[in-house]
């Protein structure tokens, strides 16, 4: 009996050691941690209710800047805290370290607000990783706050320990943030790389009369999925995969924004001008690739990627 248990205990220990030695495996386990779903669900609902579509939410997503605002804003707390911990290695730097810790804590508010806005419009596996990332960063901020408090009380050595612990927790959180962005693609453009996937010059698409009027349809051009929208003899074409997370734009609603016909993605509501792919509302921040079109004398539509 004892002999049969030993190998399985060893196997468990080996598996645990393998997981710890491969942080990516731990992050992948978080992706599949369904036990987080009740928290993810209720927090996501709360954030969506608190941030209705509009200019403020677009700014939090980073629409005016053409890329998510969160990655740029997290540099302030992480940079300040890393510098503070380095300063703690030297004598006579207590005051400077305290200022950096306080600046980092102040920088967590915009970083958290932008992160929450982006997180609320992610897929569930991404949200699980995002939740643990946020818990780590909140834990790090709490440790740095504690460090600041004990330093103010004259217990500098204890403050240094708390700062170093805070930086360690923030580093784990940053790793998960990297996993979210680089492995799970949160924040990167998911639109097809049209200039890489279509040849140079004009391409034949279909006859104009085959397209319904004022109803978006999907058409294929080689590897490219396209949203095609006809208004009379005018034809607009966008890449069909939404730049936010790849949603099918041809299933979206046609709306009018700022006097222009736009398509709203069916997944999270990103809204693009149909004529040229400009982002009107997030969460998408990257312009949707668009095509120039022309109608030939025999009534066929030709297109080429817009430069």
Q: How far is the CB of 114 from ligand FES (least distance, A)?
A: 17
Show the binding pattern over residues 166-185: x = contacts ligand FES (CB under 6 A), - = does not: --------------------
Residues 6+ apart with CB under 8 A from 63: 279, 281, 282, 284, 285
113: Cβ contacts below 8 Å, ≥ 6 apart: 60
Using CB under 6 A as the binding rule, the residues of this chain from 77 to 136 that contact ligand FES are 121
- Which residues from 228-267 bind ligand FES, rule CB under 6 A? 242, 244-247, 265, 267
* Cα distances (Å, whole numbers) of residue 161 to 14, 206, 227, 286: 32, 68, 56, 42
Provide the minimum distance between the beta carbon of 266 and ligand FES in the complex, in angstroms, as a whole number: 7
Q: Which is nearer to ligand FES, 138 or 261 (CB)?
A: 261
Sheet holding 253-257, edge to edge: 253-257, 260-264, 271-273, 279-281
> Between 160 and 268, whose beta carbon lies closer to ligand FES?
268
Distance of alpha carbon 250 from its chain centroid, rounded?
A: 22
Asked if 274 contacts 238 with a C-beta cutoff of 8 angstroms, the reply is yes
Closer to ligand FES by CB, 128 or 244: give it. 244
The structure tokens 């997180």 sit at 119
Measure the CA dihedral 269/274/278/284, to 10°: 20
Shortest distance, CB of residue 267 to ligand FES, whole angstroms? 4
Does the protein bind ligand FES through residue 51 (CB under 6 A)? Answer: no
Closest CB to ligand FES among residues 170, 265: 265
Are 253 and 268 in contact, with CB atoms under 8 Å apart?
no
Q: Which of residues 265-294 bind ligand FES (CB under 6 A)?
A: 265, 267-270, 283-284
User: Between 105 and 116, whose beta carbon lies closer to ligand FES?
Assistant: 116
Cα Rg, the chain, nearest whole Å: 25
Residue 271 Cβ vs ligand FES, minimum distance, rounded to whole Å: 9
Q: How far apart are CA 304 and CA 205, in angstroms?
A: 10
Which of 178/246 has CB closer to ligand FES? 246
- Give me the least distance between CB of 273 and ligand FES, in Å please: 15
Residues 6 or more apart from 210 whose CB is under 8 A from it?
none
Q: Count of residues binding ligand FES (CB under 6 A)?
A: 13
For residues 107 and 247, which CB has a smaller minimum distance to ligand FES in the complex? 247
Residues forming contacts to ligand FES in the complex (CB under 6 A) are 121, 242, 244-247, 265, 267-270, 283-284
């Amino acid at each position: 009996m004892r002999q049969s248990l030993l190998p399985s205990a060893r196997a468990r220990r080996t598996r645990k050691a393998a997981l710890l030695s491969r942080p990516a495996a731990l992050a992948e386990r978080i992706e599949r941690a369904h036990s987080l779903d009740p928290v993810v669900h209720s927090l996501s609902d709360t954030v969506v209710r608190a941030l209705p579509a509009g200019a403020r939410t677009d700014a939090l997503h980073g629409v005016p800047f053409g890329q998510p605002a969160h990655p740029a804003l997290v540099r302030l707390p992480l940079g300040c805290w890393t510098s503070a911990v380095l300063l703690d290695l030297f004598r006579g730097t207590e005051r400077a370290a305290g200022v950096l810790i306080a600046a980092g804590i102040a920088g967590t508010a915009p970083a958290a607000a932008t992160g929450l806005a982006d997180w609320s419009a992610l897929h569930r596996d991404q949200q699980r990783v995002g939740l643990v990332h946020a818990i780590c960063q909140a834990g790090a901020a709490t440790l740095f706050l504690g460090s600041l408090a004990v330093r103010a009380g004259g217990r500098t050595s204890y403050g240094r320990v708390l700062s170093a612990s805070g930086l360690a927790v923030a580093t784990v959180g940053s790793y998960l943030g990297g996993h979210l962005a680089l492995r799970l693609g949160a924040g990167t453009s998911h639109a097809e790389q049209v200039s890489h996937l279509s040849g140079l010059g004009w391409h034949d698409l279909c006859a104009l009369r085959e397209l319904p009027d004022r109803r978006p349809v999907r058409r294929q051009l080689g590897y490219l999925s396209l949203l095609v929208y006809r208004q009379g003899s005018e034809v607009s074409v966008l890449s069909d995969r939404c730049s936010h997370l790849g949603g099918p734009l041809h299933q979206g609603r046609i709306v009018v924004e700022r006097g222009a016909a736009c398509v709203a993605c069916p997944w999270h509501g990103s809204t693009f001008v149909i004529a040229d792919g400009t982002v009107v509302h997030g969460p998408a921040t990257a312009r949707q690739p668009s095509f120039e079109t022309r109608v030939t004398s025999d009534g066929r539509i030709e297109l080429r990627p817009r430069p």
